Structure 1
Amino acid sequence: MAVKTISILGSTGSVGTQTLDLILAEPDRYRVRALVAGRNATLLAEQAKLCRPEIAVIHDPAGLDKLAQALAGTGIAVAAGPDAVNQAAALPADWTMAAIIGMAGLHPTLTAIRRGGAIAFANKEVLVSAGDIMMDAVTDAGACLLPVDSEHNAIFQCWEPKNAGAIERIVLTASGGPFRQTSRDAMVAITPEAALKHPVWSMGTKITIDSATMMNKGLEVIEAARLFRLPSAAVEVLVHPQSVVHGIVCYADGSMLAQLGAPDMHIPIAHALGWPDRLVTNAKRLDLTTLAQLEFTAPDLDRFPALRVARAVLEAGGGAPAIMNAANEVAVAAFLARRIGFLDIVGTVEAVLDRLGVPPAPDLDAIIALDVAARNAADTLILSRAA
């Protein structure tokens, strides 16, 4: 088997570390070209010593000295800053994990796509904000986009390309998060500590808060519509607290193909890493005899309005998705800093959308400008609320 060259954009995050787990389990199959991280120079250096990439890049220049000192004498090149991140993303590689969270991942992900190859994609915010531009870049470069989010990876596994015309709808499942049964009134008192205790998945801070508000599922609805070229009405969401069924594809003949697995991100990452083959992993195997019940219910849009907001944004199109995403990033950060309450997260997003409307987003410059405008509007609203 030929050695596969690998780059990991976002190596110190949850998806990045789990990707490295799989690569280090079979080091003879992979050669790492680049590791890219945001601020965690210590962990990046530890990872680099284990997998010996050609270059290790830290986005925050303040971490360069620490990174250089830790890797002195190893022969591993080091660099820092946004330009260095993009240069690392441009290095030829058979397979790239694009896992830089938020809009910070926009340029590196596009750079990786434009040089072609297989792109394992774990940054839904970029696809939400710049979906048309990204999908056009995939087509132009002949790149292969492999979804890594568990739900989209499940749909990818059940999607029959030859029968795409017979697909009626897809179903994305949601655990419901830590507040699935919490009343709207009780949500006023939710703390960051409580919101970060997800009942099923172990994830990064931002996505865990998004899961608690169900904004994560709203983002995933938009992501699915972009990836699979579907209208909003063909993307259904069901709350499934057991998190065993991750996605379902429903066909015109009445068949429903579902992907099942333990709630472990190693599984969808391994699928993307091995595609079109399958890797052996140590992930927990499901024992169907122990599953007494699998529940599926419609989401409560009164208690979790983020899903309703995301649907409206998807249908509005234009620059609305970029505005929603940017406002949400600011609001989540403000909640974690205890500057706003839990319910104010989605409230801030709605207020920013009302303020900025649905402007066009014809190109990347326009999307970046809308991202800045939405962040500024969200900051202003949060400051005024505090005052």
Structure 2
Amino acid sequence: MASVTFEQVTKRFDDFVAVNNLNLAIEDGEFLVFVGPSGCGKTTSLRLLAGLESITDGQICIGDRRVNHLSPKDRDIAMVFQSYALYPHMSVYENMAFSLQLQGVNQTEINKRVQSAAAQLGIERLLQRKPKELSGGQRQRVAVGRAIVRKPAVFLMDEPLSNLDAKLRVQARKEISKLHQDLNTTFIYVTHDQVEAMTMGDRIAVMKDGILQQVDSPGNLYNNPNNLFVAGFIGSPAMNFFDVEQTTNEGEPCLKLGENLISIQKYLPQFIVDGGVTFKDRPLTLGIRPEDIYHPQYLPPDIPTVAVQATINMIEMMGNELIVYLTTAEQGEFVARFDPRATVKQGETLDVLWNVQRLYLFDREMETVIA
């Protein structure tokens, strides 16, 4: 096992900066997930750690070793790729044993490690099959097993579940999380799927345009995003955003949301200092998550709300909830998660209720949260 440290790591491809001054410390035994949209630098960061790309500036340490100039085979890491990269002419056993044979490990130890990994992953009966005889989920297990037998200090996984169907992805997420618990080894995982990130990671590193936006636990990332990008990327459906104006009502500071006035003193008192608002004269964006918008018939008790009249554009029945897309003349489009018992229909206009104790405020120009 080993910790991993990125210190001011930058990677340039000619004039394009793929990773920009990345500083990140990953603890020994931690499950860290890199997440972000395509082209954000998450896979490049993983490849820099693996030694598959050279670093332009900065340094990477695995444990106490600086590994910038070490070849991949000398870094004590094992990597699982999106494509699985199995040798088609080899059996499952041979695929799993191959790296150990290259290292000169004796055959008795190879047999022991392969059998142990196969039992751990439930693929003992597949050891004599070729990759073409396996399903996608089975190939994914073989690729993970090939990494396990090496007993690396760090496991690197680059979108290993993206080729699986939805049901298999859920199953594989559980298997990889359990594997991490059993091995108690450092895992670094790359995905574009924020659901994978939220369900698997001890911490999540959110990236955009090569820059680390925020690194935190899944709960803190969801409840306390530090900028508009993180707030909009983490959560499905995404957080709703609205431009709001600062105003006063009988001398009391308020936010103007369409025809509604939201008292800052009453609902956002953390922004009042010495009788004035901390964000005076700053352009504001208000955020609210879909689950904090309610159908009027199914409002939980003791929740202060503001009513917003909206028209239903589309409804998605999810079984345990309704995803409802709405629009207003003042706020534009937004999405809500309703109780599945709610009776709604496309084209209907109703007053939906927003929980004013679950509002987020961002500086519209800086795109940062107002704290």
More helix by share: 1
- TM-score normalized by the length of structure 2: 0.30
Bigger Rg, structure 1 or 2? 2
Structure number with the higher strand fraction is 2
TM-score normalised to the size of structure 1? 0.29
Higher relative contact order (CA 8 A, sep 6+): 2
